[in-house]
Structure 1
Amino acid sequence: MFRIDRNLTADDLGKALRRDVAEGLTSRPKQLPPKWFYDARGSALFEEITRLPEYYPTRAEKEILGRHVDEIAAAADASALIELGSGSGLKTRLLLQALERHGELTRFVPVDVSGEFLAESAGALAEDWPRTDVHAVVGDFEEHLGLLPVPEGGGRRLLAVLGSTIGNQVPERRAAFLRDVHGVLETGDRLLLGVDLVKDPDRLVAAYDDAQGVTAAFDRNVLTVINRELGADFDPSAFDHSARWNGEQEWIEMRLRSRRDQTVRVGGLDLSVDFAEGEEMLTEISAKFRREGLSQELEAAGFTPEHWWTDPDGDFALVLAIR
């Protein structure tokens, strides 16, 4: 069975974009949330990024799942999988197959902000798992966790947040998100979290500033989105992409740097914004983790870490924690 709940409409997304752009362009320093990278072109660019030689996280996470997915499924002992920021590729399928092998998989709840993408990807998965109730949810998981469908007939749940998505949140937001996840799960349910680990800063910077310039195009794509959706007149070529390691916070910062003094008009907001030459606008942070620190964050939110798996090079980790 396949069904889809739409808790986030195109109008909701438009309002959120207007709010985020208005707040971000008038803040000091300027900043934009990374979720606005992902229109159709941005999503395609990110898929290209995951195949670049410099960008190791996707390969490392897939390697961990390939080696340990049956251990994960056995330890989770779940009949339902909830995936936040769901995908349609290998990682999702590996988890579903393993949960099916190690128990009775009854439900899959994929959650994503893109209704069109979700309808297509979740519909395809429903065809491949005809005995599983696929209940897709269109929503922003930072805001709509409380609207997840209530489980029917009991059974443990495994909630997965893969791809180090949680690293895009500052610590305060991350703590609130983990508390919210704890609040929607029941005792005995588990959280599977994918996280990128602290390593050589040169490797980290290279992963976010590749030699081919794909990440730079991805970063500047947010300006194209604002131009199209809000009638702005950004010249993406007037901004340079930069990635730097913040050693104090232990995260990568992606920024767009203005190449000249310029004024940008955002017609949909009736807003004019000045950029000085060299002024930078933060577009993404990507936090990197250490085992002890992440365990403390999970415990503060009410979880008990049970298992920790890494790839052979120790680049990435999957942690399983029980509620």
Structure 2
Amino acid sequence: MPEPTFDVHLPEDHAATALAADARAGLTASPKTLPPKWFYDARGSELFEDITRLPEYYPTRAERAILAEHAADIATATGANTLVELGSGSSEKTLLLLDALRTAGTLTQITTLDVSGTALREAAGVLAGKYPSAQVHGVVGDFTEHLSLLPGDPTRLVAFLGGTIGNFLPDERARFLSSVRDLLKPGEWLLLGTDLVKDRATLEAAYDDAQGVTAEFNKNVLHVLNRELGADFDVDAFAHLSHWDEVNEWVEMRLRATSAQRVTISGLDLVVEFAAGEQVRTEISAKFRRERVESELRTAGFALAHWWTDPEGRFALSLAQAD
């Protein structure tokens, strides 16, 4: 079994530096914002796994169902030798794709990208054990910065699953899709997971479950700031909000100060004032229609080849080929 190989494009202090910059920029802005990536410390990752099992949270199950049904079709259509997974790469959904490519007899390389070196090395070890005939290459990097540095032999299939693209604002989405297109040669492939527009009740329940797991997940960003930046947020003094924005067609998660707050962030030498009722946006999760996905892919230089949804039409996988 070949040992995994690794490229590291981020310094060891990248996370600390990026968190400090994001917190300063977001909490001194009006309105205040924090990026959703800071939910995911060890506790936040556990909470998100719990969320994926909640009855209200359909996206993970819906996407998995599509892959279970169509992974073999994806392998046949692409003939991909290399799977490039933007994420840690050892999820059940990724394994469905890899199994299909191995069964088709084309899989020779697995490239997986993650900002966390620890998560990446763990995932790469799992993948190397499961797919001993493939070379596993881990890249410690950020998919908004380092896509052009990803290794892999043609034909490549880039997988960006989970609806994560919905966390990007429209201009960020356009830049991301263009950077994926720049990575690929004509004829190579992108597999994109997108959550679809549906009724308000279903969407808002998915981000505000009855058990309160999503609320705890949302508030976890404040625990991260308290621990990593020496902040003194009273986490219990903030309430979780979930709202469907019909104009932008995205769900927003916010934290609302239930009373006036004065928060000291010693690591930034910063004091942040919150008025009673003031909100901090912590995530957008855009929902899509086929026409918009196809249009955005076309603008970036992709042609939509296949569009699959789960039986209830809640989630979609798009297989697009680089022009």
Q: Give the TM-score, by structure 2 length.
A: 0.98
Distance in 2 between residues matched to 1:13 and 1:7, nearest whole Å: 12
1:61 aligns with 2:60: no
Give the structure 2 partner of residue 4 of structure 1: 6
Distance in 1 between residues matched to 2:77 and 2:300, nearest whole Å: 21
Q: Is the 8 A contact 1:37 1:218 kept in 2?
A: yes
1:226 aligns with 2:225: yes
| Equivalent of residue 128 in structure 2, options 126, 129, 140 | 126
| Residues 36-51 of structure 1: pairs in structure 2 closer than 5 A | 36-51=38-53
Distance in 1 between residues matched to 2:101 and 2:174, nearest whole Å: 28
Q: Shift of the alpha carbon at 1:67?
A: 0.7
Q: Shift of the alpha carbon at 1:56?
A: 0.2
Give the structure 2 partner of residue 23 of structure 1: 25
Instruction: Provide, for residues 180-218 of structure 1, a one-character-per-residue CA deviation record: whole Å limited to 9, x for no partner.
Output: 000011111100000000001110000000000000000
Q: Is the 8 A contact 1:61 1:194 kept in 2?
A: yes
Q: Shift of the alpha carbon at 1:86?
A: 3.0
In structure 2, runs of 5+ residues without a counterpart are none
Give the structure 2 partner of residue 187 of structure 1: 186
Give the structure 1 partner of residue 171 of structure 2: 172
Distance in 2 between residues matched to 1:63 and 1:298, nearest whole Å: 23
* Comparing 12-21 and 41-50, the one that deviates more: 12-21
Distance in 2 between residues matched to 1:74 and 1:313, nearest whole Å: 25
Instruction: Provide, for residues 111-165 of structure 1, a one-character-per-residue CA deviation record: whole Å limited to 9, x for no partner.
Output: 111111111111111011111000011111111112212x34xx31000000000
Q: Shift of the alpha carbon at 1:104?
A: 2.0
In structure 1, runs of 5+ residues without a counterpart are none
Q: Is the 8 A contact 2:79 2:106 kept in 1?
A: no
Q: Shift of the alpha carbon at 1:240?
A: 0.1
* Comparing 120-129 and 23-32, the one that deviates more: 120-129
Partner SS state of residue 241, structure 1: strand
Q: Is the 8 A contact 1:118 1:136 kept in 2?
A: yes
Name the amino acid aligned to 1:80.
Answer: T
Distance in 1 between residues matched to 2:12 and 2:209, nearest whole Å: 33
* Comparing 85-94 and 231-240, the one that deviates more: 85-94
Distance in 1 between residues matched to 2:87 and 2:251, nearest whole Å: 21
Give the structure 1 partner of residue 100 of structure 2: 98
Distance in 1 between residues matched to 2:51 and 2:89, nearest whole Å: 16
Q: Shift of the alpha carbon at 1:53?
A: 0.3
Name the amino acid aligned to 2:81.
Answer: S
Distance in 2 between residues matched to 1:257 and 1:191, nearest whole Å: 38
- Tell me the number of residue pairs that the alignment of Structure 1 and Structure 2 aligns: 320
1:77 aligns with 2:74: no
Instruction: Provide, for residues 57-83 of structure 1, a one-character-per-residue CA deviation record: whole Å limited to 9, x for no partner.
Output: 000000001111100111111100001
Partner SS state of residue 10, structure 1: coil
Give the structure 1 partner of residue 162 of structure 2: 163
Q: Shift of the alpha carbon at 1:103?
A: 3.1
Name the amino acid aligned to 1:181.
Answer: V
Q: Is the 8 A contact 1:78 1:103 kept in 2?
A: no
Give the structure 2 partner of residue 305 of structure 1: 304
Name the amino acid aligned to 1:223.
Answer: L
Partner SS state of residue 99, structure 1: helix
Q: Is the 8 A contact 1:73 1:95 kept in 2?
A: yes
Give the structure 1 partner of residue 279 of structure 2: 280
Distance in 2 between residues matched to 1:47 and 1:321, nearest whole Å: 28
1:109 aligns with 2:98: no
Name the amino acid aligned to 1:136.
Answer: G
Distance in 2 between residues matched to 1:262 and 1:317, nearest whole Å: 42
Name the amino acid aligned to 2:94.
Answer: T
Distance in 2 between residues matched to 1:39 and 1:120, nearest whole Å: 16
Sequence identity (%): 59
Name the amino acid aligned to 2:283.
Answer: E
Distance in 2 between residues matched to 1:147 and 1:16, nearest whole Å: 20
Q: Is the 8 A contact 2:59 2:162 kept in 1?
A: yes
Give the structure 1 partner of residue 249 of structure 2: 250
Instruction: Provide, for residues 168-189 of structure 1, a one-character-per-residue CA deviation record: whole Å limited to 9, x for no partner.
Output: 0000000010000000111111
Name the amino acid aligned to 1:86.
Answer: S
Distance in 1 between residues matched to 2:29 and 2:52, nearest whole Å: 31
* Comparing 87-96 and 294-303, the one that deviates more: 87-96
Distance in 2 between residues matched to 1:236 and 1:87, nearest whole Å: 32
Partner SS state of residue 49, structure 2: helix
Q: Is the 8 A contact 1:306 1:321 kept in 2?
A: yes
Name the amino acid aligned to 1:100.
Answer: R
C-alpha root-mean-square deviation of aligned residues, in Å?
0.9
| Equivalent of residue 16 in structure 2, options 8, 14, 17 | 14
Distance in 2 between residues matched to 1:87 and 1:276, nearest whole Å: 42
1:136 aligns with 2:135: no
Give the structure 2 partner of residue 295 of structure 1: 294
Instruction: Provide, for residues 82-117 of structure 1, a one-character-per-residue CA deviation record: whole Å limited to 9, x for no partner.
Output: 010233121111111101122321100011111111
